[in-house]
Each structure stands twice: as C-alpha cells, then as structure tokens.
Amino acid sequence: TMDKFRMIFQFLQSNQESFMNGICGIMALASAQMYSAFDFNCPCLPGYNAAYSAGILLAPPLVLFLLGLVMNNNVSMLAEEWKRPPGRRAKDPAVLRYMFCSMAQRALIAPVVWVAVTLLDGKCFLCAFCTAVPVTTLGNGSLAPGLPAPELARLLARVPCPEIYDGDWLLAREVAVRYLRCISQALGWSFVLLTTLLAFVVRSVRPCFTQVAFLKSKYWSHYIDIERKLFDETCTEHAKAFAKVCIQQFFEAMNHDLELGHTHGTLATAPASAAAPTPPDGAEEEREKLRGITDQGTMNRLLTSWHKCKPPLQLGREEPPLMGNGWAGGGPRPPRKEVATYFSKV
C-alpha cells in the first residue's frame, strides 16, 4: 500500500502542472455546483439588498481565490524566494512576477466561474438593483410621482420576493424581473467574453512580444522548484542516515556496557577483554551519506548558510564574484569539462 502511495506521489510530482490544472478545473466546477446549491434569500429591504448582493458576488470569489493559492505548492516557494536574504545569489524580480502570475492565473479560474454564473442567473443583480427600475417607463407612470421616495423604495425592494410583493398596481413584477435579468445576463456574457479575450492575450500573445524574457523567467522558475525539491530530498536522506547511525551507536554502546557489567560480575580469574565492536553491515554506506556532517551544530550552520547565502548559479569548482543579477555567469570563461552526477532514490 505504501509503495502505491509513493508511486502516486511521484507521479503527481512529475506532472505537477497538469495536476494543478486539473485541481483548478475541479474547483471551477465546484464553484458552479456551490452556487446552484446555494439558497439565495434576498432581504427585500431598502439599503440591505445592495449590501447582501455585493457580499454574494464578491465574498465567495475571494474565498475561492485564496483557496486556489493555498492549494498551489508554489506559494511557499514564492514566499521563501521573496523573503530570503540575497546573499551570494541576487533575486530576480522577473522570476518572482512570473511565479505569482502563474499561480494567480490558475487561482482566478474558480472566482471567474462564480461571477459569471451569478450574473447569468440574475438573482443577485435583481436583488441589488430592483429599486432602480424605471417605474415611469415600465409601469404606471401617472401614479409614481404621487408616492414618497421612501415608500417607492420600500415597494420596489420587494420585487425579488413574490410572496410579499404587493405593488402590481404600480409595476408588474414579471416586467421588472425580466428587465433586470436581461441586463444581468448581458453583463454576464460580456464578462465571459472579456475574461476569455484577456486569457487569450495573456497565454498566447504576450509571450510572442517578450519571448526571451518569458523563457528566462520560466526556466529559472522551474529551476527554483527543482532545486528546492532536490534539497529537501537530500536533507531527508541525510536525516535518515544520521538517525540510523546515531541509533546504531546507541545500541552498540549499550551492548558494550552490558558486556562489561556481565564480565565484572563473574568470578573468572582471566582478565576481562572487551572485543572492539565491529561495525554492522551498511554502516559505512550510511556514514558516506552524512557527507562529513556528523553533529548538530554543523548541520544547523549549513542550513543557515543555505538560507542566507545560497551558492551562485555558476557551475565549477571555483566561485568567482557574483556579477549581474546572479542568474548568469559574468563574462567568457575558458572551456572546461563539466561532469554531472545524478542521484536517484530507488
């Protein structure tokens, strides 16, 4: 069972972008289902209709947007890259902008679906603007001027509530409902068209004008993600090897103490000789994984150094001074044979 979960986790890690797109699509469908299951109850009171409708139109999209950001694994990576000290590797604002825009585009899908569904349904718009219906045009215009403004507002505010509306003598409720829903659906389709055009421009047209900058930002964004994952895997391997060696030493020392106590308690005349403990199989391999870091203080200093002073992005044994923005080498260098070693967890 654990092997299956590990395979699923590795598959999700290798297909993170497709997985996040699927999550965003599920959230978009969930937002539409949430609205269809939501019981919209307009208060039908002047001064409260607009506030209630604004809350229904804006509060759920904000919650869905925050949920979309929270479910994105790159949020912590972006915050870490934004807040870390520059050290020997400067921060590139273009990469940070690319990472944020990539997350925001996915997180905005569900809120856009909620707003579009709300406007196309028309209940929210009807509740918010029922007091702004032109009674003189759609209703009995000769009776409207004779009503006080508060009484007219109280009467029109009940249009969304058919069970308490009693103003058919002034304005037929069906006329007002059709009028406001028509405007709401027109705004809804306009909103869908504008967001579709904006998404097309952002996803298709923008990289054509800034292709070089787009490729650089995309590459280094992937690099930060992969570097973080490999560092976490390396730390996990080191912690596992450190714990294993520490436990082995503990049991070896305990076994040695027990043997000494047993020897001193006997009445044998021969001198007690404690044989040197032989290292168990695999101990040397575990020590090699420690990479020379065998105490807590050294490991803490290494982690602090990684956070405050990451190595410059320039391969080679020598580390020349950082130039430019730290994301590329400075100047030509003599040709050198590079050897890359890959470690894989099997």
The residue type at 195: T
Tokens of 19: 């997985």
253 in a domain, yes or no?
A: no
Spans in the chain with pLDDT lower than 50: 2, 5, 9, 12, 267-276, 319-346
Cβ neighbours of 259 (radius 10 Å): 14
Give pLDDT, residue 40.
Answer: 85
| 3-state DSSP assignment of residue 148 | coil
**CA distance linking residue 212 with residue 53, whole number of Å:** 45
pLDDT value for 21? 60
Report residue 175 as tokens: 């006329």
Does a structural domain hold residue 55? yes
Tokens representing residue 223 in the block: 């690099």
Beta-carbon contacts of residue 154 (< 8 Å; ≥ 6 apart): 45, 46
Structural domain includes residue 16 = no
- Does residue 183 lie within any of the structural domains? yes
Q: Kindly state the tokens that stand for 255.
A: 């076994």
pLDDT, position 188: 94
* Residue 280, in any domain of the structure: no
> Does any domain span residue 3?
no
pLDDT the model gives residue 158: 92
Q: Which residue has the tokens 């082995």?
A: 248
d(CA 102, CA 32): 23
* Reported pTM: 0.69
Q: How many domains does the chain have?
A: 1
Instruction: Report if residue 263 sits inside a domain.
Output: no
Give buried/exposed letters for 316-325 (b at 16+ CB in 10 A, else e): eeeeeebeee
Q: State the DSSP H helix or E strand holding residue 80, giving kind and residue range, or none if neither.
A: helix 74-83
Q: Which of 339, 126, 81 is nearest to 217 (CA)?
A: 81
pLDDT of residue 262: 60
> Residue 86 has what pLDDT?
84
Tally Cβ neighbours within 10 Å of residue 28: 20
The separation between CA 311 and the C-alpha centre of its own chain, rounded to angstroms, equals 26
User: Quick check: is 35 in a domain?
Assistant: yes
Region class of 278: left (phi > 0), else alpha (psi between -120 and 50), else beta = beta
**Pick from 252, 276, 251, 273: which is nearest to 262 by CA?**
273
Note down the domain range covering 76.
21-210
List, in order, residues 6 or more apart from 116 with CB less than 8 Å away: 188, 191, 192, 195
User: Tell me, what's the pLDDT at 324?
Assistant: 42
Angle, CA of 102, 103 and 107, to the nearest 5°: 125
Q: How far apart are CA 15 and CA 217, in angstroms?
A: 20
